[in-house]
Amino acid sequence: MDKMKKGDLSKFRKEYKKLSGSEIVISMGTCGIAAGGDRVYKIIEKDLNDNGIKNVIIKKTGCLGLCFCEPNIIVRMEGMPEVLYGNVDEKTAHMIISEHVIKKNIVNNYVIFMPTNDIGKNIFKDQGR
Amino acid sequence: MKKYIIVWEPDSQKGSPVNNALLKILNEKQLAEKMEIIRSPFIGFTSSGAILRVMPDNLIYTGFRVEDLEGIVNATLAGDRVDKFISSYDNKFLPVEEKDPLSRQFKIVLRNVGYLDPESIEEYISRGGYKALEKALFELGRDGVIAEMKASGLRGRGGAGFPTGLKWELTKKEAGEIKYAICNADEGDPGAYMDRAVLEGDPHSVVEGMIIGGFAVGCTQGFVYIRAEYPLAIERLEKALKDAREMGLLGKDILGSGFDFDIELRWGAGAFVCGEETALIASIEGKRGNPRPRPPFPSVSGLWEKPTFINNVETWANVPVIIEKGGKWMGSIGTEKSKGTKVFAVTGKVKNPGLVEVPMGTTIREIVYDICGGIKDNKNFKAVQTGGPSGGVIAEKYLDMPVDYESLQSIGSIMGSGGLIVMDEDDCMVDVNKFYLQFSVDESCGKCMPCRIGGKQILEILEKISKGNGEMTDIDKIYSISNAMQKASLCALGQTTPNPVLSSLRYFEDEYLAHIKDKKCYTGKCKDLVQYTVIPEKCIGCGLCATRCPVKCITGEKRKPYLIDTKACIKCGECYNVCKFDAVKRG
Amino acid sequence: MMMLEKQEVTLEKGLLDFMEKWKDKPGKEIMILHKIQEVYGYVPRKVAMEVSRVMGIPLAKIYGIITFYHLFKLQKPGKNQISVCMGTACYLKGGNDIIQEIEDLIGVAVNTTSEDGHFSLEVVRCVGCCGLAPVMSINGKVYGNVQKSELPKILGEYSGKEANANG
């Protein structure tokens, strides 16, 4: 990439487009990985692949600070509220793809709510930013 | 749009009555298309009764009865609300326009952590990253940046709370061409991990902060002194530096402004004392991390004898926000003398441990009970410890005290890096302090005598007390050794080593006295001072303790009281823990 | 002045490249020791002497640094390195019991290596996963919320590997 000059940053921001409106974000700090985040990542990657789902992006992020319910993952599907799942084990990971992503049903019992004020994005207010 | 009702019910509420009632209403009214009920194990705060959260309206209901649910469902469907049960969480330390009644947390430092891909500079920029750098370079100028930093009232988040803007100004004023900016990422406090979370989750916020700091002070080189124990943080930070360099945000002629600045990583190697700034400098220079007397302060003569300023990760991560939103904005958050937010790593015997970021002035009760769900397994609160091995305990009577630098200091603790360790009734103060002292003794660099010898002496006294050999004069000895260490140690490590013991003596002296006079440790942690016995009246003779005992020292017949052979007992406490009838006595 | 004789060891290429890159940078000593430990698992005496000779850093200075910092080792660690965290949270949540249990299970005391060189056990300061306390790691893989009862299974994963390798 070319080096940026004054003003290039705001141009970049304007032109920046997300690859897809739907994404699955997996918390993968040291603690998330220790709690099994990397296993969950592989399962979700494979399930998306096996089901031929191409419009859902999978990405990793740092630690949300919710250590008690690691591994946690955020699922953003177009037309659905953003959902944070905690204590995601292998079974839940499969269910998140088969239920949430494919059938658009939120998987019960694993939804975590973390209300917060922040100057970035409050994920629970995410109704089309 | 479809409505979602998220339900949280306390563990004590058996059989999920609220959830079931809601499902029933949904079924009867055939609302499956319009509404979904979701059970959640965590909803951000706790209450004695169930909590409902309605999305996307983002309303919170508490204090309702099962009979009221139908009304809430109807109102939700009509896009209305039932005002009577709307929860009124109030957060008094936030400026009005940012106020979100649903939360006690306020994220500045952790603004991106957990939301963006830390390995993507594109995402950071798209969320407004490097906007502050541009503003600093082309609008504010060097003096403007320092003015904003001073206006913000930001104080160092690593421990002592020195005003950051002033530190920058002092370093800027020094003569000399070469100056250095350092990020202290050698997070040594055992029990604090917010710096790791920031570096792993949002490395660019630290990089951007450092470039701005370097620009304001007039440096061309920065160093991040990072714990080698955090390999993932190192990897992500290195990637961030590389990406920033490629985009022209770091290195020569940043954004075409003519300002040059680069950052290098230097690894720590597991020495707590290297959190002290002069020791840290020695370590970056490739030497043993011995501290040296100050003055001269690093702002005058630091790394390779050049003017140097050091801030820790959390402080640096605040910088871009201050520059972008203005120092005045930051100054409107927090208490009179402590501005902004603080990240706490809440761990120990708490139900929902984790990282929380709250405005300065939030109380310990709000942090431990409202955000983190209270004490685990419904045990009793004993104390929280802040500031790690340099800090002190906060007793129950201070639960409602607003937390800031001054208030913590006034009760004998410190803010420190933000570790907040919750202790319950099972934790013994003598035992915990043995742990802290052992830590400080191991970490003492050995250069100055009060720290090297004093710490060891206090530790030996604590060991003696925990073995049941304590005498009343030992308490006086602790005070006099502590006094010497506080006054005569070279650096903060030695000066603060006695803090945990002194503060626990202040609030839990009776516990020390029980160890010394009665030779008892009521928590069972000091194994020499505890005995497990069966209370015959309570024992129903189930024999569970006998099967669980690892040394098979419990004997008896079914349905008759059992007996513990106290000579053979290794005091593991297994019988006490497994007995369902409270028939094993500890004491 | 006594000169150190050239040692018969040949330094690994990665290490030599690293030394070349860092040779003119001030404050290189600690970074080079990290690299040595990454390559060899500890700081072997012969390697330290060779590095001292090549880089012109006095051996005494290298030894001084190694012994000051907890992370550097002078002894070769076992094939599988077990590190039990003893940060405050882990201590409160029973880190001591975990160490005791491991000692009993594999017969290795803290800071020692088993006779067959298969396991070594050490205590480490906070690994920064306090929310998962008690925590331990084996060869860098972190295990959280460790229960005593799980230890045979976890350790079995590692002793199993050797059985396969031998068989």
Instruction: Look at residue B53 and tell me whether its pLDDT is greater than 50.
Output: yes
Q: Are B179 and B171 in contact (CB under 8 A)?
A: yes
> Using CB atoms and an 8 Å cut-off, which of residues 22-61 of chain B contact chain A?
36, 38-45, 53, 55-56, 58
The per-residue pLDDT for range B195-219, each reduced to its tens digit, is 999 999 999 999 999 999 999 999 9
Q: What is the pLDDT of residue B190?
A: 86
- What is the C-alpha separation between B303 and B296, in angstroms, rounded? 12
- What is the C-alpha separation between B404 and A16, in angstroms, rounded? 40
Using only C-alpha atoms, chain A has a radius of gyration, in whole angstroms, of 16
Q: What is the pLDDT of residue C7?
A: 53
Q: What is the pLDDT of residue A115?
A: 57
Measured between beta carbons, which residues in chain B are less than 8 angstroms from residue A70?
A: none
Q: Three-state SS for B403?
A: coil
Q: Which of B92-96, B144-148, B262-266, B369-373 has the lowest mean pLDDT?
A: B92-96
β-bridge pairing B584-586 and A83-85: unpaired
Chains in touch with B (3+ beta-carbon pairs under 8 Å) read A, C
Length of chain A: 129
Instruction: Look at residue B497 and tell me whether its pLDDT is greater than 90.
Output: yes
Q: What is the pLDDT of residue A119?
A: 44
B313 residue type, one letter:
V
Q: What is the pLDDT of residue A116?
A: 56
Sign of the dihedral through C-alpha B255, B259, B260, B262:
negative
> Using CB atoms and an 8 Å cut-off, which of residues 256-315 of chain B contact chain A?
256-257
Q: What is the pLDDT of residue B44?
A: 62
Q: Which of B291-305, B308-322, B571-585 has the lowest mean pLDDT?
A: B571-585
pTM of the entire structure?
0.90
The per-residue pLDDT for range B62-114, each reduced to its tens digit, is 889 999 999 999 999 988 888 888 775 544 444 434 445 556 788 899 988 88
Q: What is the CATH number of domain A23-113?
A: 3.40.30.10
Size of interface A-C (CB pairs under 8 A): 29
Phi, psi of B487 (to 5 degrees): -85, -35
The terminus-to-terminus CA distance of chain A in angstroms comes to 28
ipTM of the shown complex = 0.88
SS3 content of chain C, % helix, strand, coil (to 5): 50, 10, 40
Given its phi and psi angles, is residue B497 left (phi above 0), alpha (psi -120 to 50 degrees) or beta?
A: alpha
Q: What is the mean pLDDT of residues B528-552?
A: 91
Q: What is the pLDDT of residue B444?
A: 95
Shortest CA gap C141–chain A (Å): 7
Q: What is the pLDDT of residue C162?
A: 46
Instruction: Give the pLDDT band (50/70/90) at residue C50.
Output: very high
Q: What is the pLDDT of residue B182?
A: 97
Instruction: Give the pLDDT band (50/70/90) at residue B45.
Output: low
Q: What percent of chain B has pLDDT over 70?
A: 96
Residue A10 token pair: 């705001």
Give yes or no for C129 touching A (CB within 8 A): yes
C40 residue type, one letter:
Y
Q: Under an 8 A CB cutoff, do A62 and B356 touch?
A: no
Greater confidence, B297 or B82?
Answer: B297
Q: What is the residue-level pLDDT of chain A in tens, covering all 129 positions?
A: 678 999 999 999 998 877 777 899 999 988 889 889 999 999 999 999 999 999 999 999 988 888 888 898 989 888 777 788 999 999 999 999 999 999 988 888 888 876 555 444 433 333 332
Q: What is the pLDDT of residue B437?
A: 96
- What is the C-alpha separation between C130 and C132, in angstroms, rounded? 5
**All domains of chain B, ordered by start, with CATH?**
3-92 (3.40.30.10), 125-331 (3.40.50.11540), 341-424 (3.10.20.600), 429-518 (1.20.1440.230), 531-586 (3.30.70.20)
Q: Are B423 and B447 in contact (CB under 8 A)?
A: no
Give yes or no for C143 touching A (CB within 8 A): yes
Q: What is the pLDDT of residue A114?
A: 62
Q: What is the pLDDT of residue C160?
A: 62
Q: What is the mean pLDDT of residues B322-342?
A: 94
Q: Under an 8 A CB cutoff, do C132 and A33 touch?
A: no
Adjacency order of strands within the sheet including B51-55: B35-39, B3-8, B51-55, B59-62
Q: What is the mean pLDDT of residues B219-243?
A: 95
Please give, one letter per residue, the 3-state secondary structure of B22-51. HHHHHHHHCCCCCEEEEECCECCCCCCCCE
Q: What is the mean pLDDT of residues B406-433?
A: 93
Greater confidence, B133 or B353?
Answer: B133
Q: What percent of chain C has pLDDT over 70?
A: 90
